[in-house]
Amino acid sequence: MSEFLKGFGDLLELAKLLEEKAANGELKTEFQVNSRGFSSMPRSTMGASRVVRPQSEAPTPPSSPAADAPSPAVKLKDVGGLGEQLKALRELVEIPLKRPELLDRLGLEAPRGVLLVGPPGTGKTLTARALADELGVSYIAIVGPEVMGKYYGEAEGRLRSLFEKAAKSAPCLIFIDEIDSLAPDRSKVEGEVEKRLVATLLGLMDGFAQSKGVIVLAATNCPDTLDPALRRPGRFDREVRFGVPDRAGRLEILRILTRTMPRDSSVSLDTIADLAVGFVGADLKGLCQKAAYNALRRLVPDMSVAPPEEMFLTQSDFLQAIKEVKPAVLRSVEVESPNVPWEEIGGLEEVKQTLRESVEGALLYPELYEQTGAKAPRGILLYGPPGTGKTLLAKAVASQARANFIAVNGPELLSRWVGAAEQAVRELFSKARQSSPCVVFIDEIDTLAPARGRYNGDSGVSDRVVGQLLTELDGLCDAKSVLLIGATNRPETLDPALLRAGRLDLQLKIDLPSTESRFAILQVHNQERPIVGVDLAEWAERTEGFSGADLALLSNQAALVAIRRFRAVGQREPSQIRVEAQDFETAFQVLKAQKEIG
């Protein structure tokens, strides 16, 4: 043991010697050395927060190496696409911090905490900093995980110290980022540290009853994981939601981000905003940076070559960046951005026209619906035999409305575990709201929402799932850029409540194609194929009872038969291959036999 202590003492002496040499500039290394010694660093600067005072009140920082460089101020003019959120926050924060006497005269109690809820990158932290700067109040930022300590009571002590610091710096805005890691639901955690920390935070929030001039803003993207006691009145009882910006919000953010970027006349921020569906503020910042690097590689391909006198970003730089940058909210989910034009869907002209008028327009031009008071459908039911194009229609709606697309099968959401299916439904719609504008497509929706009371042997699971689905559908009234499309071939088994007005109120029957529609479908699937001597009109007549999927399979099978025939005669030149009538005949006989067996 004595040898261990002696070795440890030698190590400390060596560390002090290196520190002194670094401070005197005697230590030559290939790295930049921060000569700020830990032994001389005040304990207060080693915590998880930093107090930023208004510039008019801030003391002149000493020129010692231990002085922290202030972070650049963030102005409200640097925050784009959050007009409603900023308005709500100013109402909740400005009067209590700047004119608290007005609340006293009206007998009102100032809010103590406001919860900022939204996906990462939507501007919660930026808004808090900008608000503190705009109001000219002190600002303390805390990152939840950094408060944790390894010694008993250390985390609670840090938290109390930060709140005491805020009270002394009043008026002050405290911002707690990732509060879900600091105050999880105590009924779902086993660690005593987390439980004590939640209790400490609750006590500090309640202590604000005796303290004025301090408001806590807390950010999270998982509000349901917070301890319920934290969200009761008198604590974080006010919530401001930060969503994915719409087109107008994206355009405003792009204008702010590109203010100092040299752009040529080809750059259209309107076009970029149209294409950047699902991008939040952080994604758009990454997009602009990526575009700038694209321009740099284009203008200076070789670092040894002098750059041109004038450097500009072009539209192609931004378009290339959009292909390379994926929105953060879409990285953890299987969200598709389909490219299915209406022309690729053969037949179904009346259905396509209805979808164009009632859905596509509502997603593309919501302001027209608001101006006229018209209500667009929030849900659509497509019903009919399998293979008639229901999924393809849903993709076309998303594609033409420039929306994201989430597709699931009803049985995928079901689970044998209690509450798991309802949770899966909640998460599905939560992802859709984060990815808005978004089309959610649930295939075989009848398995997810059968008529309630029909199944008595599943312990009420089906009824609870239907109830959750109805709740989410009712919530789509607030999420104007989310549309649900359900598909089934058994509409009579659906719960009637699902089909009432305001839910799946637009119901379209997708029947087997007529002769004319079959001809259109065959044309779509064979327009790129080298067919010779094939009368598609004749095949449209012969394929009575075939669905769109059957016709696609027939066309593909004919091509495969042509390949086998081509190789059997020793041909090798791809440009010489042709799909002939005999190939269609062979494929047709095989499919006909399969359908008869089926």
SS (H, E, C) 214-238: EEEEEEECCHHHECHHHHCCCCCCE
Number of Cβ atoms within 10 Å of the Cβ of 27: 15
Q: Do 160 and 282 have their domain in common? A: no
Q: Do 145 and 175 have their domain in common? A: yes
Domain with 326 in it: 247-330
Q: Do 360 and 435 have their domain in common? A: yes
List the chain pLDDT tens, one digit each, 598 residues.
444 444 445 544 555 554 554 444 444 433 333 333 333 333 333 344 455 555 544 444 443 333 333 455 677 788 888 888 888 888 888 888 888 878 778 877 778 889 999 888 888 989 999 898 888 889 998 887 777 766 677 778 888 888 888 888 888 899 999 888 888 888 887 777 788 888 888 888 887 655 678 889 999 988 888 888 888 888 888 889 888 888 889 999 999 999 999 999 999 999 999 888 888 899 999 999 999 999 999 888 887 778 888 889 999 999 999 888 878 766 655 566 677 888 888 888 888 888 887 777 777 777 777 788 777 788 889 998 888 888 888 888 888 877 888 888 888 888 777 778 888 888 888 888 877 778 888 988 988 888 877 665 556 677 888 888 888 888 876 666 788 899 998 889 898 888 888 888 889 999 898 899 899 999 989 988 999 999 999 999 999 989 888 999 999 999 999 999 888 888 778 888 999 999 999 999 988 888 776 5
Tokens of 545: 């009872």
Collapsing DSSP to helix, strand or coil, 422 comes out as: helix
Q: Do 406 and 474 have their domain in common? A: yes
Q: Do 234 and 310 have their domain in common? A: no
Q: Do 541 and 497 have their domain in common? A: no
By the 10 Å C-beta count (0-12 exposed, 13-18 middle, 19+ buried), 596 is classed as exposed
The reported pLDDT for the residue numbered 333 is 56
Q: Do 449 and 565 have their domain in common? A: no
- Mutual angle of helices 124-135 and 83-98, in 10-degree steps: 40
The reported pLDDT for the residue numbered 54 is 55
For residue 491, what are the contacts with CB-CB under 8 A and spacing of at least 6? 381, 383, 446, 507
Listed residues 190, 217, 241: the one ending a domain:
241
By the 10 Å C-beta count (0-12 exposed, 13-18 middle, 19+ buried), 279 is classed as buried
The reported pLDDT for the residue numbered 519 is 92
For residue 352, what are the contacts with CB-CB under 8 A and spacing of at least 6? 342, 345, 393, 396
The reported pLDDT for the residue numbered 454 is 67
CATH of the domain at 542: 1.10.8.60
The reported pLDDT for the residue numbered 10 is 53
Q: Do 358 and 476 have their domain in common? A: yes
Collapsing DSSP to helix, strand or coil, 507 comes out as: strand
The reported pLDDT for the residue numbered 36 is 34
Using DSSP bridges, classify how beta strands 138-143 and 49-52 pair: parallel, antiparallel or unpaired.
antiparallel
Residue 501 covered by a domain: yes
Residue 69 covered by a domain: no
Task: Tell me if the bond preceding 437 is cis, omega within 30° of 0.
Answer: yes
Query: How many helices (H) and strands (E) in the chain?
Result: 25, 13
Q: Do 401 and 436 have their domain in common? A: yes
CATH of the domain at 131: 3.40.50.300
Q: How far apart are CA 327 and CA 121, in angstroms?
A: 10
Task: Tell me if the bond preceding 223 is cis, omega within 30° of 0.
Answer: no
Total number of domains constituting the chain: 5
Q: Do 561 and 504 have their domain in common? A: no
- Give kind and range of the element (H or E) at residue 522: helix 515-526
Listed residues 330, 360, 375: the one ending a domain:
330
Using CA of residue 155, residue 157, residue 158, residue 163, what is the dihedral sign? positive
Number of Cβ atoms within 10 Å of the Cβ of 301: 8
Q: Do 348 and 487 have their domain in common? A: yes
